[in-house]
Amino acid sequence: MTVLWAAEEPLLPAQVQARLGNGLAYTSVATVLGRLDTKGLVTRVPAGRAFRYSATVEESHLAARRIGEILSSTSDRNAALIGFVASLSKRETKALRAMLDNDGG
């Protein structure tokens, strides 16, 4: 996803593979891109015999979705939230407090 977020245009699996630079096989990259398409996280458009892929969700939205999924999977949501907030830096806590104050808490 990081490669697609950084790209200025939709990418072929081979382009994603090259930008990853970690030695993954083309078929592995293509498989993961196909799974991300099935999950609705990327979109693909035909490009000859292959597809070009682009992200359909912003990084911040995906992170928020993941946090929500984690909170939903815990038996004590409040304890998880308390632990999360306690792990924030002073700067992040200040930003969170400002956001909550602007939304009326």
Query: Taking 90 as the threshold, does the pLDDT of residue 104 lie above it?
Result: no
pLDDT digits (tens, 9 = 90+) for 43-55: 999 999 999 999 9
Contact 55, 44 (CB under 8 A): no
What pLDDT is stored for residue 45 in this prediction?
96
Dump the DSSP string for 41-100: SEEEEEETTEEEEEESS-HHHHHHHHHHHHHHHSS-HHHHHHHHHHTS-HHHHHHHHHHH
The pTM of the full predicted model, rounded to 2 decimals, is 0.74
Question: Is the pLDDT reported for residue 105 higher than 70?
Answer: no
> Over the chain, what is the mean pLDDT?
93
Identity of the residue numbered 77: R
pLDDT band at 98 (very low <50, low <70, confident <90, very high): very high
What is the token pair recorded at 89? 């830096």
pLDDT of residue 11: 98
